[in-house]
Amino acid sequence: MNDVAHLPVLLERVLELFAPVLADRDAVLVDATLGLGGHADALLSAHPALRIVGLDRDPNALQRARERLARHGDRVEFVHAVYDRIPAVLADLGLSRVDGVLMDLGVSSMQLDLPERGFAYAKDAPLDMRMDPTTGPTAADVLNTYSVADLTRILREYGEERFAHRIAKAVVAERQKAPFDRSERLVRLLYDTVPAPSRRTGGHPAKRTFQALRIEVNGELDTLRAAVPAAIDALADGGRIVVEAYHSLEDRIVKRAFAERASSRTPEGLPVELPGHGPDIRLLTRGAEKADEREIDHNPRAASVRLRAAERIGAAAR
């Protein structure tokens, strides 16, 4: 894959949101999902004094990002870690607070474009789906060992799949013949199991199941629930967090975390804000921002993006 083909989503908006806290100063930003480094490259180019701590659970992505960002020298610290480990990573680097945190969630372009990773249902590949291929169970392990009840749960919760129970029963019955190991066999089963009317109107019948398996394999939602509050806590006064989510489950978690931290903790009915009980952040976006049609035409991955941003409120204001 040619890394030039990797197009950072909502790049201009990300640059705009971070500019007030990164411009003309020695600033530190955590790119919590570094991927191929597209956002990081643009941020480093725009702010010559900026340092970036780049996290990614995928060692292959880290290596590609190293190559892409080499021209920025020692201004990037590359860390092999899942992004809910932001506090530990910063402690290891001797950093108490940072000026920005960026999260570009979900599966990366590189992971989708490499058939052997098993993320894309359009190509036959091993059923892996691990963002970090060095550790943890694969999608095949989930399909071959989970009960009907557990498969139904993850398909319903993580894939929002209407036919979750029907698919789970079909998977368990089919694996009795032979374990699942490749995606083509699973896609055929889904075509046979999902009713024809739904196939005609609901998009590719494998989309929701593959999403659910990927989220389960990588523990994505639990990681996100821990990571957003940790990222907010890592921000210096006036620091900013920007999160790009690509499906409703992710966006819902970000929305709730932001709403909770943007709310006062002073008991209702008191006439004044209690010291230390005010909001931790102020929202910088009204709802979730989306890509415009021009960007979507240029980069189809942008079609599902939902961007939210917030700024840490100074302790004196809280």
For the annotated binding site for S-adenosyl-L-methionine, the residues are: 37-39, 56, 83, 104, 111
> The dihedral of CA 14, 118, 194, 156: what is its sign?
negative
- Which of 314, 303, 215, 254 shows the shortest CA–CA distance to 101? 254
- Distance from the first to the final alpha carbon of the chain: 48
| Cβ-based neighbours of 27, under 8 Å, separated by 6 or more | 21, 47, 49, 50, 51, 99, 100
Instruction: Walk across the sheet containing 235-245 and list its strands.
Output: 76-80, 51-56, 28-31, 98-104, 235-245, 306-312, 281-283
Residues annotated within the binding site are 37-39, 56, 83, 104, 111
Q: CA torsion angle for 171, 176, 182, 185 (degrees, to 10)? A: -60
| Strands in the chain per DSSP E | 28-31, 51-56, 76-80, 98-104, 235-245, 281-283, 306-312
Two tokens at 175?
A: 């694996």
